[in-house]
């Protein structure tokens, strides 16, 4: 904003705006709320926008309120014709008009979209970058079969980021591997609402469900004999698959489920397919082993 020919009051308004909005917007997403004391809709929006911006402070969001009666020059520069008018400013430029967001969910959705597109610096992003290698280490240890050590790693990370979905999921899967199912369930039930649909959390839930179904058996020979005698004894084959899962033999467990699907895909309302998909999710949909088994499933279903 050029200051040539401006009054002293307007010059001060520009300097204040630069200090409060333009400079912070170099790294943060600044939400500028144009309002006035006499504006009824402004008073309705105020508690909503203040709450959401406070919730998003760790994501790099900052709220600045501009009273149009006291800062008419600034309002005119933004061509504010009615209030409330709300703009998102990043790197000195308006990047979105948020004026139509009148509910908490609407405002959060718009902010989430902006934060996903802009390189906004935040405590959350900095922390995510810091703990990413630690999470990878925990996953590597868990994959190697040392669930006790993996649980210890995830517990230490949780002290830094207690609400991180990947950390919660890692802890839960480590607890499941140790047979501490009730503790894993409690951890998953305590997941913050915004992470309820996270892929890692869903994977941990699938692993917990499988663990609840599975029954470790020292001797599977009886079930194997029943299947050998009658290949269509799907109940025995399903129990055998669960026993194999409980014993850590996911390949043979998948083989038995695929055998049921091949012989009778509708058996027990499609229980074998549902269990197999649950196994895929528990292992991880990006895992190469899962990709191979999914191709086997497709070959059965579409040939």
- Cα separation, 99 vs 41, whole angstroms: 11
- What's 84's DSSP letter? S
The catalytic residue among 32, 39, 64, 80 is 39
Please list the residues that pair with 88 across neighbouring strands.
31, 96
The catalytic residue among 14, 30, 42, 142 is 42
What 3-state class would DSSP assign to 92? coil
> Packing angle between helix 234-246 and helix 250-264, nearest 10 degrees?
160
DSSP H helices in the chain: 8-17, 40-55, 72-77, 104-117, 123-143, 147-160, 165-177, 181-189, 199-213, 221-229, 234-246, 250-264, 271-283, 288-301
- Cα separation, 275 vs 273, whole angstroms: 5
Can 42 be counted among the known catalytic residues? yes
Under 8 Å between Cβ of 61 and 70? no
In degrees and rounded to multiples of 5, residue 67 shows phi and psi of: -75, 115
Please list the residues that pair with 90 across neighbouring strands.
93
Can 39 be counted among the known catalytic residues? yes
Catalytically annotated residues: 39, 42
């Amino acid at each position: 904003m050029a200051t040539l020919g401006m009054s002293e009051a307007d010059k001060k308004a520009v300097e204040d705006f630069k200090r409060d909005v333009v400079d912070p917007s170099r790294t943060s997403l600044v939400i500028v709320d144009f309002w006035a004391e006499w504006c009824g809709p402004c008073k309705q929006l105020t508690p909503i926008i203040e709450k959401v911006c406070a919730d998003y402070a760790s994501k790099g969001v900052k709220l600045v309120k501009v009273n149009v009666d006291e800062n008419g020059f600034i309002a005119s520069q933004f061509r504010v014709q009615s209030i409330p008018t709300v703009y998102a400013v990043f790197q000195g430029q308006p990047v979105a008009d948020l004026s139509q967001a009148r509910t908490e969910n609407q405002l959060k959705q718009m902010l989430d979209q902006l934060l996903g597109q802009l390189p906004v610096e935040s405590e959350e992003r900095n922390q995510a970058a810091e703990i990413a290698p630690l999470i990878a280490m925990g996953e590597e240890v868990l994959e190697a079969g040392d669930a006790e050590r993996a649980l210890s790693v995830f517990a230490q990370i949780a002290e830094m980021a207690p609400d991180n979905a990947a950390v919660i999921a890692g802890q839960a899967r480590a607890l499941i591997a140790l047979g501490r199912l009730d503790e894993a369930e409690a951890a998953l039930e305590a997941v913050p609402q915004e992470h309820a649909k996270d892929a890692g959390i869903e994977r941990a839930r699938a692993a917990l469900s499988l663990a609840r179904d599975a029954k470790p058996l020292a001797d599977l020979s009886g079930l194997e004999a029943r299947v050998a005698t009658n290949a269509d004894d799907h109940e025995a084959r399903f129990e055998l698959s669960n026993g194999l899962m409980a014993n850590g033999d996911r390949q043979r467990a998948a083989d038995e489920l695929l055998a049921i699907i091949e012989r009778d895909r509708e058996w027990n309302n499609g229980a074998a397919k549902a269990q197999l998909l649950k196994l895929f999710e528990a292992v991880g949909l990006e895992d190469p082993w899962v990709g191979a088994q999914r191709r086997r499933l497709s070959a059965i279903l579409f040939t």
